[in-house]
Chains A and B, each alone.
Chain A
Amino acid sequence: MGFPHKLHSRETPVLSEHFGQAEARSLDGWKKRGGYQALEKALGMTPADIVSVIKESGLRGRGGAGFPTGMKWSFMKPGDGRPHYLCCNADESEPGTFKDREVMRWTPHALVEGCAIGAYAIGAETCYVYIRGEFTEPLLYMEQAISEAYSAGLLGANAMGTGKRVDVHVHKGAGAYICGEETALMNSLEGRRGNPRIKPPFPAVAGVFGQPTTINNVETLAAVPQILMKGAEWYKGMSRSNPKSTGTKLYSVCGNVRNPGTFEVEMGFPFKDFLYDLCGGPLDGRKFKAVIPGGASVPIQTMEEADATLMDYEGFVAQGSMLGSGGVIVIDDAQSMVRVIARLARFFAHESCAQCTQCREGTAWTTKILERIRDGQGTTEDLDTLMDIAENMTGTTICVLSDSCATPVVSGIRKFRSEFESLIQGRRVFPAMAAVA
Chain B
Amino acid sequence: MAEEKMVSLTIEGRPVTVPEGTSILEAAKTAGILIPHYCYHPSLPIPGVCRMCLVEVEKAPKLAASCATSVAEGQVVHVHTDRALEARKGVLEFLLINHPLDCPICDQSGECELQDFTYQEGRADSRYRDPKRFNPVEDFGGDVIYVPNRCILCTRCVRFMDDLAHDTVLNVSERGDRALIGKFEGKGLTHPWAANVIDLCPVGALLSKDFLNKARAWELDRAASICPNCTQGCNIMLEVRDNSVARLKPRPNEEVNKYFICDYGRLNYRWINRQDRADLPMVRSGGVLASAEWEVAIRAAANVLREGRVSLVVSPMLSNEALFLLSLLLERNGGTGVFRVATGDEAPLPGVEDLALRRDRAANVFGAELLGFTRSDNPLESLADGDVLIIADDDLNGVDAATVSRARSIIVIGTTVPDSISPAVILPISNFAEEEGTFTNLRGRVQRFTQAKAAPGLARPSWLVLGDLLGVIGLQERFFLPSEVFSNLAQSRREFSGLSYDTLGMRGLPVLNAGQPVAV
Q: A198-B68, A357-B94 are in contact. Are A392 and B87 (CB under 8 A)?
A: yes
CB-based contact B87/A353 at 8 Å: no
Cα–Cα distance between A381 and B98 once the two chains are bound (Å): 19
Q: Which residues of B contact A (CB under 8 A)?
A: 46-52, 54, 61-63, 65, 68, 86-87, 90-91, 93-95, 97-98, 127-130, 152-153, 172, 174-179
A365 on the interface (CB 8 Å rule)? yes
Cα–Cα distance between A354 and B94 once the two chains are bound (Å): 12
Residue from B47, B94, B130 with most neighbouring chain A CB atoms (10 Å): B94
Q: A354-B153, A357-B95, A358-B94 are in contact. Are A363 and B51 (CB under 8 A)?
A: no
Q: A381-B127, A395-B62 are in contact. Are A363 and B52 (CB under 8 A)?
A: no
> In chain B, what residue has the closest Cβ to A194?
B175
CB-based contact A363/B177 at 8 Å: yes
CB-based contact B95/A354 at 8 Å: no
CB-based contact B175/A357 at 8 Å: no
A244 on the interface (CB 8 Å rule)? no
17 of the cross-chain contacts (CB-CB < 8 Å) are A198-B68, A350-B175, A354-B177, A354-B179, A355-B47, A355-B153, A356-B50, A357-B94, A358-B94, A360-B176, A361-B97, A363-B177, A365-B94, A389-B90, A392-B93, A395-B61, A397-B51
Residue from B63, B130, B174 with most neighbouring chain A CB atoms (10 Å): B130
A372 on the interface (CB 8 Å rule)? yes
Q: Which residues of B contact A385 (CB under 8 A)?
A: 127
CB-based contact B176/A364 at 8 Å: yes
Q: A357-B50, A357-B51, A365-B97 are in contact. List 19 more A-B contacts (CB 8 A).
A: A176-B175, A352-B176, A353-B176, A354-B178, A355-B47, A357-B52, A357-B91, A358-B90, A360-B176, A361-B94, A361-B95, A365-B130, A372-B129, A389-B90, A392-B87, A392-B90, A395-B63, A396-B51, A396-B54
Cα–Cα distance between A373 and B427 once the two chains are bound (Å): 78
CB distance from B166 to the nearest CB of A (A): 17
Q: Which residues of A contact B93 (CB under 8 A)?
A: 392
Cα–Cα distance between A364 and B132 once the two chains are bound (Å): 11
CB-based contact A361/B98 at 8 Å: yes
CB distance from A326 to the nearest CB of B (A): 26
Q: Which residues of A contact B128 (CB under 8 A)?
A: 365
Cα–Cα distance between A361 and B93 once the two chains are bound (Å): 9
Q: A395-B62, A396-B90 are in contact. Are A361 and B177 (CB under 8 A)?
A: yes
The tally of CB-CB contacts under 8 A between chains A and B is: 95
CB-based contact A198/B130 at 8 Å: no
Cα–Cα distance between A193 and B177 once the two chains are bound (Å): 15
A369 on the interface (CB 8 Å rule)? yes
CB-based contact A354/B175 at 8 Å: yes
A368 on the interface (CB 8 Å rule)? yes
Cross-chain contact of B51 among A176, A352, A358, A365 (Cβ < 8 A): A358
CB-based contact B48/A352 at 8 Å: no
CB-based contact B176/A363 at 8 Å: yes
Q: A357-B152, A396-B54 are in contact. Are A364 and B62 (CB under 8 A)?
A: no
Cα–Cα distance between A372 and B129 once the two chains are bound (Å): 10
> In chain A, what residue has the closest Cβ to B128?
A365
Cα–Cα distance between A43 and B490 once the two chains are bound (Å): 77
A247 on the interface (CB 8 Å rule)? no
Cα–Cα distance between A251 and B153 once the two chains are bound (Å): 39
Please report which residues of chain A, range 348-400, place their CB below 8 angstroms from some CB of chain B when the two chains form the complex. Answer: 349-358, 360-365, 368-369, 372, 381-382, 385, 388-389, 391-392, 395-398
Cα–Cα distance between A365 and B86 once the two chains are bound (Å): 18
A436 on the interface (CB 8 Å rule)? yes
Cα–Cα distance between A349 and B178 once the two chains are bound (Å): 10
> In chain A, what residue has the closest Cβ to B68?
A198
Q: A396-B54, A396-B63 are in contact. Are A362 and B129 (CB under 8 A)?
A: no
> In chain A, what residue has the closest Cβ to B99?
A361
Q: A198-B68, A354-B172 are in contact. Are A436 and B98 (CB under 8 A)?
A: no
> In chain B, what residue has the closest Cβ to A354?
B179
> In chain A, what residue has the closest Cβ to B180?
A354
Residue from A176, A198, A351, A354 with most neighbouring chain B CB atoms (10 Å): A354
Cα–Cα distance between A362 and B54 once the two chains are bound (Å): 17
> In chain B, what residue has the closest Cβ to A348?
B176
Q: Which residues of A contact B153 (CB under 8 A)?
A: 354-355, 357, 360
Please report which residues of chain A, range 157-216, place their CB below 8 angstroms from some CB of chain B when the two chains form the complex. Answer: 176, 193, 198
> In chain A, what residue has the closest Cβ to B70?
A200
Q: Which residues of B contact A349 (CB under 8 A)?
A: 176-177
CB-based contact B172/A193 at 8 Å: yes
> In chain B, what residue has the closest Cβ to A352?
B176
> In chain A, what residue has the closest Cβ to B127?
A385
Cα–Cα distance between A381 and B46 once the two chains are bound (Å): 38
Cα–Cα distance between A350 and B90 once the two chains are bound (Å): 21
> In chain A, what residue has the closest Cβ to B65?
A198
Q: Which residues of A contact B176 (CB under 8 A)?
A: 349-354, 360, 363-364
